[in-house]
Homo-oligomer: A and B are copies of this chain.
Amino acid sequence: MKGGGFSFQLLREEAGKGRLGRVATPHGQFTTPAFMPVGSQGTVKALAPADLHEVGTEIILCNAYHLYLRPGIEVIREAGGLHRFMGWSGPLLTDSGGFQIVSMSGLREIESEGVRFRSHLDGSLHFLTPEKVVEIQEGLGSDIMMVLDDCPPYPASLAEAKEAVALTTQWAKRSRDARHADGQALFGIVQGGDHVELRQQSAEELMEIGFDGYAIGGLSLGEAKAVTFETAAQVTALLPTTSPRYLMGMGTPEDIVRGVQVGVDMFDCVLPTRGARTGLLFTRRGQLNIKHACYSADTAPVDADCGCYTCCNFSRAYLRHLFLARELLAYRLNAVHNLFYYHTLMRTIHQALADETMDQFVREFFSRRGENITEAEGGETLC
Contacts and interface: CB of A to CB of B under 8 A. Distances in A.
Nearest to A74: B297
A48 B297 contact: no
Contacts of A322: 41-43
Given A328-B331, A329-B43, A317 B49 contact: no
Interface residues of A, number: 39
A71 B321 CA distance: 6
Contact of A45 (B74, B87, B320, B327): B327
A333 B48 contact: yes
A85 B318 contact: yes
A48 B329 contact: yes
A324 interface: yes
Contact of A317 (B41, B43, B75, B313): B75
A238 interface: no
A79 interface: yes
Residue picked from A75, A85, A309, most chain B C-beta under 10 Å: A75
B42 A85 contact: no
Most buried by B among A43, A47, A49, A85: A43
Interface string A323-350: 0110111011100000000000000000
Given A325-B41, A327-B43, A332-B328, A317 B79 contact: yes
Contacts of A314: 87
Interface of A: 41-43, 45-50, 70-71, 74-75, 78-80, 85-87, 296-297, 299, 309, 313-315, 317-318, 320-322, 324-325, 327-329, 331-333
A212 to B, nearest CB: 29
A88 to B, nearest CB: 10
Contacts of A325: 41, 70
Contacts of A320: 71
Contacts of A85: 315, 317-318
A49 B314 CA distance: 11
Contact of A321 (B49, B50, B75): B75
A324 B41 CA distance: 11
Q: Which are the 10 A-B pairs with shortest beta-carbon distances? A: A46-B328, A71-B321, A87-B313, A43-B329, A41-B325, A43-B327, A75-B297, A79-B299, A78-B297, A85-B318
Contacts of A80: 299
A309 B51 CA distance: 12
B327 A71 contact: no
Contacts of A331: 328
A275 to B, nearest CB: 14
A296 B87 contact: no
A316 to B, nearest CB: 10
A135 to B, nearest CB: 19
Nearest to A45: B328
A296 B49 CA distance: 21
A63 to B, nearest CB: 12
A201 to B, nearest CB: 39
Contacts of A42: 318, 321-322
Contacts of A328: 45-46, 328, 331-332
B47 A329 contact: yes
Contacts of A317: 71, 75, 78-79, 85
A194 to B, nearest CB: 35
Contacts of A71: 296, 317, 320-321, 324
Given A43-B322, A85-B317, 4 more contacts: A43-B329, A47-B329, A71-B317, A75-B317
